[in-house]
Structure 1
């Protein structure tokens, strides 16, 4: 199965780049995957590392990039990560495969999965925050029906351009676009193939998605360096703060699996788990309000 992930030059540094490397190294645990990186920007040491580790690096740009730039110039839109938008180009780039796997960079493969047995009508995805709430999917792990997506691309791009032309598209992102455009037309993916570290630990899960704070952020929380005064950081960090034992269990499990693949990454994961296990709060756990996921906006 062809496995696509995507990043832009700005995202190749820091936590995003670290997680992309972890994803590539963990792919050895996943069975047969053909890693392909969609990349936007100037080639650098990050892309050279990817090529040294068997990744095909493909220069790409998101669909409707011109409309994004116009919207940005007038202050109506801000692309927090062009790398995320690159996933929308996969059906246009890959024209000789029937199905493909896409993941965000901040995932780790945990065990072999028969991805070829998953054959969605358009694509398959798992829930966003809670494993039993199916009214809104997380696009961090998707199995793509490339022909079906390619046939819908012109209509989808018309929707994208209309949205970018609106007076305020600042809250618009690729996941929102996919959920809105394909509502009722996507298939369910086993939640264990997009497991979150704030969910109860499941040793049978196939993919762990660091949805929330990344490794550097988890370290900062454990070391009490996290910026709890910033509203966005507070909301992200609360996912870990409210579920510390679950994070410790997932990190420990991943560290053990990675020992035969990359001892350096394995040791880092174990160190993070140990520091987090010793994390002592001085106040009640911060919680992330997820009630909005059951609101009328996303009602079935």
Structure 2
């Protein structure tokens, strides 16, 4: 707000106890507020924000409190920032309530993303808190070593490595650098106030699905297994234990211990509770601190861990998840469903988008480039490519240069799949995917989405074929979690539970990997295995619009299903279409309405230029008038393409 309105921002006081028993907001008062500097490094924050173009004033640098005009953001109807600018632009000093959840997501612009991350970068614990976090990280390791006899009796090499690690930790602490943690982390929402919050939150009747506030919590040990948490390193369990019912605490920690996890809590390593431990002498650091200070300490412990998992409805865990993923660290949530904060701060969360590709299909490289470039423009997706083939090829290097994470994955079922694919050549009339063994394996790669290690942090991923382009931004809440050929949202934990049974069905096939009544290859077996779910949750066509169907101005994803742009051009040249009447149908319906959008992303490709010019000719009013439009105009375009030399000049309308 300060940057958009060209104002300085006054550093706020912080609330040290935000415990909520009702929907009433907890506001700062004389008894619960603390200075920003009690928790964070003020000068670091000011420098970081100054570099981002925002001037930060300390409270003692700010105008007299009596000079402010109060503005209640929740009462503003319409465009909030416009009203602040237009109505209050002449007011020198404004005092606003907390803007989180009050600025509509539609008012954010792409430039706000870097500003938001700058603010989070600036939120660095102060020196005292940083040292405490470092010591707690060491205490987690010490606690586990004491608890596990198997870690005693190190060899000389191991002892030397431990000494080097300790020396490195001490050097990092001396310079103020954060210590890395060799532990996993779960933020477990089981407090009494959370139970009450879930009841209130799930009772809201606003058309939004609200069923995941406490989901999977009672069996969270099972969920950790689904997300691949290891049992040979400490698992730090964070919660506000002072507000957890004793029987609930015993039940949850008991399940984790029974499952074999090396559980550590604040009671084991926080000095305020165990002054006789390795942190002896630091009791005074926490004895006068409140709930939110301890929450801040645990937040940054979560930033240090190997793996992080929490409850996505919790703002604490959701923000931690977003920040870790932004920094390239593993982060997940155990309660399924959506991440409500992602709809409030859409610029901070991107949907993982997965596609498969290979090095032996250069004729389709231009389509993949259009998909990746359009995704980048929307700023909604984190792209992953499960790639097969030669990494020295142009397209592999292009993907790397364009910040696509490459996943090299060799399916364990490859040899078995090829063994049952004996009749695959007989199915080429069903799909070109049956032409070669490598192509067949490549197209089946997507069935391994739930077992690819890089993706195991995600609950949902968007999968598309490579022949799509994206028309506008999107968040998970835009979907009803569904499926359609070439585009689907995959629930990875659910697919992981069903994986063995799915692979068994996939390989139990005597028809050359064609699945009668369900379709070809991987699409067919997905249709067959998940038939009941898919019939109930077919994907809306706005996420899978096709050029040969009616134009949809609200389409999010356009899928060049069937004919590709170069095949449409071939149709104009020779009148032949491998996809029956779909080429003609595309030209007669919406292909030329989508084409100008798509061409922007591949304007360096000859195929795109030729398609754009052909469509321009078809849409030319003079051609329509002289040739009568429709099929006659299409015939005119075919005549032009028939005489145009390959790679030669293109016609302008």
Shorter-normalised TM-score: what interval? 0.7 to 0.9
Pairing partner for 1:87 from 446, 449, 456: 446
Q: What is the match of residue 131 of structure 1?
A: none
Which of 398, 404, 409 does residue 55 from structure 1 map onto?
404
Correspondence for 2:552: 202
Secondary structure of 2:423's match? coil
- SS of the aligned residue for 2:450 comes to helix
Q: Is 1:111–2:458 an aligned residue pair? A: no
Show structure 1 runs of 5+ residues with no match.
Answer: 127-137, 283-300
| Greater Rg by CA | 2
What TM-score, normalized by structure 1, do the two folds share? 0.75
CA shift at 1:281, angstroms?
A: 7.2
Cα separation, partners in 2 of 1:274 and 1:45, compared to 1, 3 Å: closer
Partner in structure 2 of residue 35 of structure 1: 383
Aligned mates of 1:7, 1:145 — CA distance in 2: 21
Alpha-carbon contact 1:92-1:150 (below 8 Å) kept: yes
- Asked whether the 8 Å contact 2:548–2:582 carries over to 1, the reply is yes
Q: Is the 8 A contact 1:252 1:270 kept in 2?
A: no
Equivalence for 2:246 = none
Structure 1 consecutive aligned stretches of length 4 or more whose deviation exceeds 3 Å? 116-119, 167-172, 267-271
The number of aligned residues is 250
Q: Secondary structure in 2 aligned to 1:37?
A: strand
Question: Who is 2:584 aligned against?
Answer: 241
In structure 1, C-alpha distance between the alignment counterparts of 2:479 and 2:511, rounded to whole Å: 39
Pairing of 1:1-300 with structure 2 (within 5 A): 1-11=351-361, 13-15=362-364, 17-43=365-391, 44-62=393-411, 64-72=413-421, 75-78=422-425, 79-80=434-435, 81=439, 82-93=441-452, 94-118=455-479, 120=481, 124-126=482-484, 138=485, 140-163=486-509, 166=510, 168-169=512-513, 172-186=520-534, 187-224=537-574, 227=576, 233=578, 236-246=579-589, 247-255=591-599, 258=600, 263-264=603-604, 269=608, 271-276=610-615, 277=618, 279-280=634-635
Between the aligned partners of 1:158 and 1:273, the Cα distance in structure 2 is 46
Q: RMSD across aligned C-alpha pairs, in angstroms?
A: 2.5
**Cα pair distance change 1:249/1:77, threshold 3 Å:** same
**Cα displacement (A) at 1:245:** 3.1
Where structure 2 has 5 or more consecutive residues not aligned to the other structure, the ranges are 1-350, 426-433, 619-632, 638-653
Task: Report the CA distance between 1:212 and its aligned residue.
Answer: 1.2
Higher relative contact order (CA 8 A, sep 6+): 1
Deviations 1:204-262 (A, max 9, x none): 100100011111111111222x545xxxx1xx15212134132112213433xx3xx55
Q: 1:111–1:206: 8 Å Cα contact kept in structure 2? A: yes
Structure 1 residue 20, shift from structure 2 partner: 1.0
Distance 2:399 2:568 in 1: 25
SS in 2 for 1:279: helix
2:9 corresponds to: none
Distance 1:116 1:51 in 2: 29
Deviation at 1:145, TM superposition (A): 0.7
CA contact (8 A) 1:3 1:34 kept: yes
**1:117: how far off?**
4.7
Aligned partners of 2:354 and 2:462 also within 8 Å: yes
Structure 2 Cα separation of the partners of residues 109 and 46 of structure 1 = 20
**TM-score for both structures, normalised by structure 2:** 0.36
CA distance in 2: counterparts of 1:119 and 1:206, whole angstroms: 14
